[in-house]
Amino acid sequence: MRIAVFDTHPYDEQALNAANLDGAHTLEFFEERLHDKTVELAHGFDAVCPFVNCRLTEPVLQRLQQIGVKIVLLRAAGFNGIDIAAAERLGICVARVPAYSPDAVAEHCFALLLTLVRKTHRAYNRVREQNFSLDGLEGFNLHGKTFGALGAGRIGQCAMRIAKGFGCSVLAYDPYENQQIAKEVGFEYVTLERLLEESDVISLHLPLSGQTHHIIDAAALARTRRGVIIINTSRGGLIDSQALIDALKTGQVGGVGLDVYEMEEGVFFHDLSDRPLQDDTLARLMIFPNVLITSHQGFLTREALHAIATTTLGNAASFERG
């Protein structure tokens, strides 16, 4: 299969070439993201292989179909950037990588959480300037605190296992309960309201959809414990950023770790590198010393990249076999 791989970094090339050692597929790599301005690059390919922040709207999918593309091999789990109904209408198959390494994202969630509660980001910056002062670096133990997972799927379960390891009590809200897993991991399913009211840490592990958009809004934040820590490694649109900024100002929220942000979805059509964000929300969030932002890198481990590459090419092979 001839596959046009979009939004690539050297590590994608390395992982995909390693997974294609037998040369079963012809791979061409493009740094560009796949959207309306770059769709013509897909000429002459059977498949496109975009990454998480692609924007495959109906017109883009229509164009892909016209130029002979038969399948979208998404190198990610979240498919909120693809108009699935349009793809179905147009007869374009969409495959994704539902679970490449839940541990990678769950561990990143704890990287953010531990940094925030022990303020190591602030200490790191100080020590680099030969400042060993402890002022303002008082943190708190995770042991004995309540960790609330919004979403108890693959990543949520991994995060809850880690939280149990730290000695946290663990609550989860998920409309699709699996009591067997709850027993095995040792968490309790509760209502969204109870999770908001009882958690010291709220971590988001659910997909972005019409139902979950702004699930954390001003009303939800008003119900939380004062000083709650919020971690989002899922999708930016799950949190109302303005409400979050307001709650940080009043101290209702005591710390925020974000690997994803609303504006990512707003810049779908552009590369972050060559176009500054029009929205200043990120800058307004970064003013707070208790806000820690990373660059949607939860997935970025050696193990996850290997799994993404092998599953993606496995999806291509399954498609070829019909």
The catalytic position among 177, 296, 302, 321 is 296
Helix or strand run (H / E) with residue 113: helix 102-118
Q: Letter for the amino acid at 243? A: A
The catalytic position among 184, 235, 270, 284 is 235
Size of the site for ligand NAD (CB under 6 A): 29
Report the residue closest to ligand NAD, judged by CB.
Answer: 153
Q: Supply the angle between the helices 120-128 and 102-118 in degrees, to the nearest 10.
A: 70
Helix or strand run (H / E) with residue 257: strand 253-258
Which range binds ligand NAD by CB under 6 A, 5-13, 34-42, 171-179, 218-226?
A: 171-179
Question: What is the nearest approach in angstroms of ligand NAD to the Cβ of residue 203?
Answer: 11
Q: Is 284 a catalytic residue?
A: no
Q: Three-state SS across 16-75? A: HHHHCCCCCCEEEECCCCCCCCCHHHHCCCCEEECCCCCCECHHHHHHHHHCCCCEEECC
3-state secondary structure of 85: helix
Q: Is 155 in the site for ligand NAD (CB under 6 A)?
A: yes
Which tokens go with 127?
């020590």
Question: What is the nearest approach in angstroms of ligand NAD to the Cβ of residue 134?
Answer: 32
Return the residue of 33, 55, 75, 205 that touches ligand NAD, per CB under 6 A: 205
Per the CB < 8 A criterion, the answer to whether 245 and 258 are in contact is no
Q: Is 171 in the site for ligand NAD (CB under 6 A)?
A: no
In Å, what is the CA distance from 35 to each residue of 39, 56, 67, 269, 309?
6, 6, 15, 6, 22
DSSP state of 141: -
> Which DSSP string do the residues of 171-231 spell out, in sequence order?
EEE-SS--HHHHHHHT-EE--HHHHHHH-SEEEE-S---TTTTTSB-HHHHHHSPTTEEEE
Closest CA to 44 of 25, 61, 24, 64: 64
Residues 102-121 that bind ligand NAD (CB under 6 A): 102, 105
Return the residue of 7, 12, 259, 264 that touches ligand NAD, per CB under 6 A: 259
Q: Is 81 in the site for ligand NAD (CB under 6 A)?
A: no
Residue with tokens 């979240």: 78
Q: Is 207 in the site for ligand NAD (CB under 6 A)?
A: yes
Q: Is 175 in the site for ligand NAD (CB under 6 A)?
A: yes
Per the CB < 8 A criterion, the answer to whether 47 and 316 are in contact is yes
Q: Is 253 in the site for ligand NAD (CB under 6 A)?
A: no
Q: Is 235 a catalytic residue?
A: yes
List, in order, residues 6 or more apart from 83 with CB less than 8 Å away. 56, 57, 58, 61
Question: What is the nearest approach in angstroms of ligand NAD to the Cβ of residue 164?
Answer: 17
Return the residue of 72, 117, 260, 285 that touches ligand NAD, per CB under 6 A: 260
Q: Is 296 a catalytic residue?
A: yes
Return the residue of 296, 305, 309, 316 that touches ligand NAD, per CB under 6 A: 296
Q: Is 152 in the site for ligand NAD (CB under 6 A)?
A: yes
Q: Is 235 in the site for ligand NAD (CB under 6 A)?
A: yes
Q: Is 75 in the site for ligand NAD (CB under 6 A)?
A: no
Decide the pairing of beta strands 228-232 and 71-73: unpaired
Which range binds ligand NAD by CB under 6 A, 40-48, 57-65, 119-127, 206-214?
A: 206-214
Which range binds ligand NAD by CB under 6 A, 9-17, 19-27, 114-122, 169-177?
A: 169-177
* Contact positions vs ligand NAD (CB under 6 A): 77-78, 99, 102, 105, 150-156, 173-176, 205-207, 211-212, 233-235, 259-260, 296, 298-299
What are the residue numbers of the active site?
A: 235, 264, 296
